[in-house]
Chain A
């Protein structure tokens, strides 16, 4: 009995620090509508900075708590810098661009942390005065855990008072509702957003800083916490502080006790909770239903222009060029191009539901990964050979999309995007944790093509033909009644339902189709490198797909292909540098700021302007 109580307290302590991070994320989202991926990085920075400060400052309570508070404030300032330098320039862009830009910041901070603190994990000092354990019903509970629990409650109370009893709090709530009106009443929105970013980032930094006596500081903290924090925010209801607290407690206790019962699938458990909650309450426990606010993640014109005759000729020319390329270029480039084909298909499959269906997925890598793992497992355990493995890979992914999509299409906007992220994390957790089956962190090796296709040139042609075929099939569907209905459903859902279309079912089909093709891309990808690792299905892979679509230009058909091309080649060029992530992050931020329509979209607009200038 006493053991369970101790376990409960451990869970509460984790809940406290999780709440700090998640409430910051929730506040920022509630007001600015920005899904801030860099929030986890702020948490990590808080821990690293606190580690440095506390070890450098004189030992004692003042040094420890002073270090914790200063690091939280420093992180707050870093959040403000990001808001002013990056986000303020792109508040007018579609919301997803802001998300992609914050992911650029994630990459940047990752490398900065590596550069400053080195690759090793850091073991923080204990909190002076609270380094012992107290005896509660015969079980030892670390004193520091109790301190953290109290601090969590104090912050909850303080935030509640701030939001409900001060003018600033009223301003923030008003901004959540109608920013434009607030501007017409004389409120400088930029300043309000900056202050919100400061508060949110301070909370992330504080959460990280308070962790140092409890766990070692590592470079994996950023994405690990951001996934969990997203779950908390969504389960609690976006923008709700009390909801974030409740959800933190639920998730943390589930972990604390889940680990006793199912140690292998603790990660899965958390995401399952999110699925269950969202199915019962689509806006989280304490969230309010949001009309368009949440639905319009992809505002702005999202046309898909039917390629004209000239464009078709150009595409045909490009295809012909790719056919003769192996006789001209070095084999290394063929490998790279094969990768471009695979990612082009992957991006096109995301574009299929996102650009045309208005369904944003933060977890499209789930289907890529299911295809990759499906093919690899068929090959290794089923001895099917490459041909059958690749042929069945889409089915593995499609089956996943069939199940996950059933739930996803019930939601819209950010909630749908987050749910898709949760499903991808479930797949990732299984891939990562069930070592016997999937090889865990090391992945499945020996995924090589059949002898006839093992030549790089042959495999090049194989990927080219299959990916080009897949992309054409997707495009074909877009310009068939299926695609028209999908776009009509994106633009005016009610009208489409009124003429008797079962829109939800239609979206579900689209989701499954996108999953099938992402699976094909995943299957092909596995055989390209001979190995399938959990990276095939992690958050960065999902964001990669988003970036390819957005950076290429979501309004255009060939945008995702251009995005995949730019992405693969850029990444390859940059890998030579030690801090390639930082450079890559900066480039991503630069593109988001400079080309809010994506590469193809911006070129298209330039061409239109030039034509207009010539005409007048």
Chain B
């Protein structure tokens, strides 16, 4: 579904990603794991072309997307949920969802407002409320919901559990599992191993901009050496 091939990305002179390659299969939930500053967000932004990679190629659904603009990539069915949430605070909750609405994409689940509200019941009550007045957890739900409004076949999720209370983290995990059951492919960046363990099938470990390990999520969690070398803070 999503293939990342030999991606290199620089910020100025500094090489942040070097030779990053991995694949995410259709319907799979893959977790991109790594410490602070390892290059997780940069990888997701490079796929979305919110930052411009220096070289390398990204193929989404058999189509090279390395020449496209972010909005075109989104329209192909690849959604993006940023780490900083970036909800539109001058809009209401309903409007935040409305601006991202995009339908009739072949082979994708169509997310109507009703279905979104089924998945995120508390958003329904806040529909008319200003997005500025939401709590951090509610904002996180809104960013995921907003991206779903584009009816994506795959989504890039940047640290969805960051800064959330444990209950909300559990709720987020349940939501992601429901998405998976809908057939949505998910690439998620995480530091929270517990959360990643709940949802991911596969682990991709990045450190200092290089991929260090790829394998089953469960195996990565159980392997003390891997945990100690790349994941422990």
Q: Quick check: which of A60-68, A148-156, A183-191, A343-351 contacts chain B, the rest being far away?
A: A183-191
Q: How many pairs, one residue from A and one from B, have CB atoms within 8 Å of each other in the complex?
A: 59
Total interface residues on A, CB under 8 Å, equals 18
A185–B99 touching, CB < 8 Å: yes
Closest CB in chain B relative to A191 CB, distance in Å: 9
In the complex with contacts A185-B100, A186-B102, A188-B71, A178-B88 CB distance below 8 A = yes
In the complex with contacts A178-B88, A181-B82, A184-B82, A189-B98 CB distance below 8 A = no
Write out, one digit per residue, whether chain B residues 64-105 have a CB within 8 A of any chain A CB (1) or not (0): 000001110011000010100010111100011011111000
Write out, one digit per residue, whether chain A residues 134-177 have a CB within 8 A of any chain B CB (1) or not (0): 00000000000000000000000000000000010011011011
B91–A185 touching, CB < 8 Å: no
Residue picked from B91, B96, B101, most chain A C-beta under 10 Å: B91
Contacts of A173 in B (CB 8 A): 88, 90-91, 95
Contacts of A187 in B (CB 8 A): 71, 99
Complex-state Cα separation, A187 to B90, whole angstroms: 18
Query: What are 14 A-B residue pairs whose CB atoms fall within 8 Å in the complex?
Result: A170-B91, A174-B90, A174-B91, A178-B88, A180-B70, A181-B88, A183-B70, A184-B50, A184-B80, A184-B82, A186-B100, A186-B102, A186-B150, A188-B71
B residues apposed to A, CB below 8 Å = 48, 50, 69-71, 74-75, 80, 82, 86, 88-91, 95-96, 98-102, 146-147, 150
Complex-state Cα separation, A188 to B99, whole angstroms: 12
Complex-state Cα separation, A189 to B72, whole angstroms: 11
Contacts of A167 in B (CB 8 A): 98-99, 101
Contacts of A180 in B (CB 8 A): 50, 70
Complex-state Cα separation, A197 to B71, whole angstroms: 20
Q: Does A399 contact B (CB under 8 A)?
A: no
Complex-state Cα separation, A171 to B95, whole angstroms: 9
A residues apposed to B, CB below 8 Å = 167, 170-171, 173-174, 176-178, 180-189
A181–B98 touching, CB < 8 Å: no
A177–B89 touching, CB < 8 Å: yes
In the complex with contacts A184-B74, A189-B71, A171-B99 CB distance below 8 A = yes
Complex-state Cα separation, A29 to B194, whole angstroms: 46
Residue picked from A171, A173, A185, most chain B C-beta under 10 Å: A185
B86–A181 touching, CB < 8 Å: yes
Which single member of A170, A174, A177, A184 contacts B70 (CB below 8 Å)? A184
A174–B71 touching, CB < 8 Å: no
Residue picked from A170, A173, A178, A184, most chain B C-beta under 10 Å: A184
Which single member of A177, A188, A189 contacts B90 (CB below 8 Å)? A177
Residue picked from B70, B96, B147, most chain A C-beta under 10 Å: B70
